[in-house]
């Protein structure tokens, strides 16, 4: 069995109530619930939140498991692994069966396609050596060329110095950015609360136009522009 978890805590400070902010005609988290439904692969679509209002929105969008998150899992410093383990445990008790796959779909990534969810699922299913699969996009800046960090002497240096293997720009490794949109997990790593990146993590590459994580008002405006002008979605109100 497969479960999708949409973790939507209330109380965002940078962009108040960002998880339910109206985007292209519906609350933000509703887009993620609907994408999970449209993928057609989930036995359970769960919304985990500390807010009854958020849970109502999730139910109206099509979630079939509403998880009221305890206060200790809804603070500014709460890590995601305990939240996912809590959701997995409750879902298995509800279903009376084990969930072999858990997908963590971020509600602030409204432009993912159901095909991205399917792609991550197929990647995980085809690679029994992997614990999980994360979604990425092509990096806009290369740590071998343009990303710098402060050195001990106060100057800047490349984050990843080039060596003799990479004589030309074309020879540099392709770099990717984690975009937070999709985390596809096997069951046991969730129970053990493993980190998202290990030596057994694979990736699913998403299109540039789908790569948005809304955290600020500027992110929200950019996402709305892409939704209208690239995808033809209704104007955000």
The model's confidence at residue 11, banded by pLDDT at 50, 70 and 90, is: confident
The model's confidence at residue 237, banded by pLDDT at 50, 70 and 90, is: low
Q: What's residue 144's pLDDT? A: 87
Domain covering 2-139+175-229 in this structure, CATH number: 3.90.550.10
Query: Is the pTM for the entire model greater than 0.85?
Result: yes
What is the C-alpha to C-alpha distance for residues 104 and 89, in angstroms, rounded to an integer? 14
What's the token pair of residue 176? 């990717």
What's the token pair of residue 13? 């400070």
Q: What's residue 161's pLDDT? A: 82
Helix, coil or strand: residue 158: strand
User: Torsions phi, psi of 27, nearest 5?
Assistant: -60, 145
Q: What's residue 236's pLDDT? A: 66
pLDDT (tens digit, 9 = 90+) per residue, 152-204? 888 999 898 877 677 677 788 899 999 999 999 999 999 999 999 999 999 99
Cβ contact 224:24 at 8 Å:
yes
Domain ranges of the chain: 2-139+175-229
What is the C-alpha to C-alpha distance for residues 171 and 164, in angstroms, rounded to an integer? 11
């Amino acid at each position: 069995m497969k479960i999708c978890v949409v973790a939507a805590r209330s109380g965002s400070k940078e962009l108040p109530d960002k998880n339910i902010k109206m985007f292209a005609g519906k609350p933000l988290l509703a887009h993620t619930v609907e994408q999970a439904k449209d993928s057609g692969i989930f036995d359970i679509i769960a919304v985990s939140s500390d807010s009854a209002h958020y849970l109502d929105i999730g139910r109206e969008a099509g979630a079939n498991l509403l998880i009221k998150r305890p206060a200790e899992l809804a603070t500014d410093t709460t890590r995601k692994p305990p939240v996912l383990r809590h959701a997995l445990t409750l879902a298995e008790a509800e279903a009376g069966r084990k969930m072999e796959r858990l997908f963590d779909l971020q509600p602030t990534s409204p432009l993912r396609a159901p095909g991205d969810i399917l792609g991550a699922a197929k990647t995980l299913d085809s690679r029994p050596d992997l614990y999980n699969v994360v979604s990425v996009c092509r990096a806009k800046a290369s740590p071998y060329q343009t990303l710098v960090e402060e050195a001990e002497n106060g100057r800047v240096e490349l984050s990843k110095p080039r060596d003799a293997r990479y004589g030309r720009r074309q020879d540099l490794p392709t770099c990717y950015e984690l975009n937070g949109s999709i985390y596809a997990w096997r069951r046991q790593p969730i129970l053990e609360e493993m980190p998202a990146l290990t030596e057994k993590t694979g990736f699913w590459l998403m299109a540039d136009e789908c790569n948005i994580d809304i955290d600020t008002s500027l992110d929200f405006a950019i996402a709305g522009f892409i939704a209208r002008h690239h995808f033809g979605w209704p104007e955000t109100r």
